[in-house]
Every structure is written in structure tokens, then in C-alpha cells.
Structure 1
Amino acid sequence: MKTESHGLVELTDQNFQDIKNQNGVLLVELGAEWCGPCKMMAPIMQELARDYQGLATIAELDVDMNPETTVAFGVRGVPTLLVFKDGELVQRFSGATNKRILSQTLNGLVNVTDTAF
């Protein structure tokens, strides 16, 4: 079952496939506690979770605690951001990514055309 921290869904190797395969849009940050750029991404991910509440699922997955998912997606560095639509990977970002780029990506997938994000 998904749990939330600061508005973000916490993913694990155990629940990743179930959440990923739901209809809709999913943005996942694969990161780690020790990762400086991941810490920089934390407020952006929290803002996106608030901004897209009811439109998309915004989630995080700790690569150290969840090696199966990390290996399955060939994550070589953190943060890595994966965007899924209806269970299919549609976009991948490596490294810290600004909110504007992530919002533009999400807007295109959730069919938001007029937004203040």
C-alpha cells in the first residue's frame, strides 16, 4: 500500500509495479539519503505533489533500500526521474531537473493546457 511523506507517495520494490501500472500519470524520483542533488529536488517534488494532486501521482523511491527497481530501470546515478503514463515509461531525466521542465512534461500528459504552474 502506498504511504505518503510530505505529499509524496513512498514507493518500494514491493509496491512499485502496482502503482506504476495504475492508469494515469506517475512521476518517480529515484534518489538516496546521501545524495545532495536529491535533497535539492525534495522541495520541488513536494510542490509538484501539491500542484498535481488529483491529476498525477508524484512519488519517490530510495535506491539503497530498493535495489530491484533500481536495477530494472538501469539507474546509474541519482536523482533519476521517471515519468509513466498508464504504466508505460514516457520520459526519463538524469540529475536534478527544474520544476518548469517537470511541470511542462506533466502538463502535456495530464492534458492541462491553461495552468499557472
Structure 2
Amino acid sequence: MNVPTVNQEGFEQIVNSGETALIEFGASWCAPCRALGPILDEMSAEYGASLPIAKVDVDDSPELASTYGVMSMPTVILFYKGSPVDKLVGLRSKAVYQAAVERSCKVS
């Protein structure tokens, strides 16, 4: 399962589609961002519809990156009911992302 890359419109749809969402801010040329891809794919398959996951390419959507204070890549932001609740900067292990989801978003 491939995690979609979204623009402003797609971002709004995903963040406001339910209670929880995970958005990765990165770029195609960013090696740590590419390494994060398989982790997000696995999480998307595991959580399914209960946790929408998407990517924002900061080169294509610099306004979104600026709005959410993205200064380094990858940056993963967890949203709960449309509002950011956690931000993880830099490449982390899958377990760290899963723990953040469980802690911040109460996903089951």
C-alpha cells in the first residue's frame, strides 16, 4: 500500500476526514524521507481507515510546511480532530511513530 502525496486540498480532506491523521512532511530528494516510506506503508496497512496517512512534498506545498513550522525533514505531525497534537522531527523507528499515535490520538 502506497501512502499518497497530497497538496493543500488533499491535506485538508485527510486531516478533517475523521478523528486522527498522520502527515509526513518531506521531499523526494530527502534520503531519510525515502527511508520513512516503507514504515508509513506498513502503518497504513496495519491501521487502515482508522488512521489516514499522507505525505506533503514541501517543495510542492511550501505554504503548508510554513504553516506547521516544518524546518527539517522528515517531520511527522499527528492530527486529532483537525488540530496538530504531536510533532516528530527526523527519522525515527516504527515503534516511536506507533507509540506517538497511541498516545496522541487514541487509535485502536
Q: Is TM (by shorter chain) over 0.5?
A: yes
Residue type of the alignment partner of 1:89 = P
Higher strand share: 1
Mapping 1:1-117, distance limit 5 Å: 6-108=1-103, 109-112=105-108
Higher helix share: 2
- Shift in Å at residue 51 of structure 1? 0.7
Does structure 2 conserve the Cα–Cα contact (< 8 Å) formed by 1:10 and 1:59?
A: yes
RMSD over aligned CA atoms reads 1.4
Bigger radius of gyration: 1
Residues 56-102 of structure 1: CA deviation (Å, up to 9, x unaligned): 11111111011110111111111000000110111001000110011
1-side partners of 2:8 and 2:68: how far apart?
12
Unmatched segments (≥5 aa) in structure 1: 1-5, 113-117
Deviates more, 1:84-93 or 1:9-18: 9-18
Unmatched segments (≥5 aa) in structure 2: none
Does structure 1 conserve the Cα–Cα contact (< 8 Å) formed by 2:74 and 2:90?
A: yes
Sequence identity (%): 29
- Shift in Å at residue 8 of structure 1? 1.4
2-side partners of 1:97 and 1:78: how far apart?
11
**Aligned length, in residue pairs:** 107
